[in-house]
Amino acid sequence: MRNQRILVVDDDPKVVKFIQKNLEAKGYELLTAGAASEALNTIRTKLPDLVILDLMLPSIDGFEICRLVREFSQVPIIILSARGDTGDKVRSLSLGADDYITKPFDIAVLMARIGIVLKDN
């Protein structure tokens, strides 16, 4: 049985490295993408078990990525964003996100929510 694959879509290398260290320590396989086209291609070809998605990305934002992913996949999506406005949270969830965590975030909370989302799959 393969390790569960998690795609982290964020254009901040520090955030990606921090999440990567913690996910790999728990035995997850990490995939990364810094932009929409790379993220969508990775979801289609590598079939991750979970996507952790930032909203503020170059060219196409996370809202649009979430909407596009829902056209072809039901992969769980956790939004991880500095945008903490209630409207952004509601919009993300209405577009098909499964959860929403605001940056700065506690890694223990992120890991717990990952465990909950992946347990359902």
pLDDT of residue 119: 86
CA 77 to chain centre: 5
Query: Regarding beta strands 29-33 and 77-81, do their DSSP bridges make them parallel or antiparallel, or are they unpaired?
Result: unpaired
CATH number of 5-114: 3.40.50.2300
pTM, 2 dp: 0.95
Residue by residue, pLDDT tens for the chain (121 residues) are 568 999 999 999 999 999 999 999 999 999 999 999 999 999 999 999 999 999 999 889 999 999 999 999 999 999 999 999 999 999 999 999 999 999 999 999 999 999 999 985 5
Q: In a 3-state reduction of DSSP, which class is residue 56?
A: coil
Kind and range of the H or E run holding 36: helix 36-46
φ/ψ of 72, rounded to 5, equals -135, -5
**Rounded distance between C-alpha atoms, residue 121 and residue 71, angstroms:** 19
pLDDT of residue 59: 87
Question: What are the distances in angstroms from CA 37 to CA 41, 60, 83, 95?
Answer: 6, 9, 22, 18
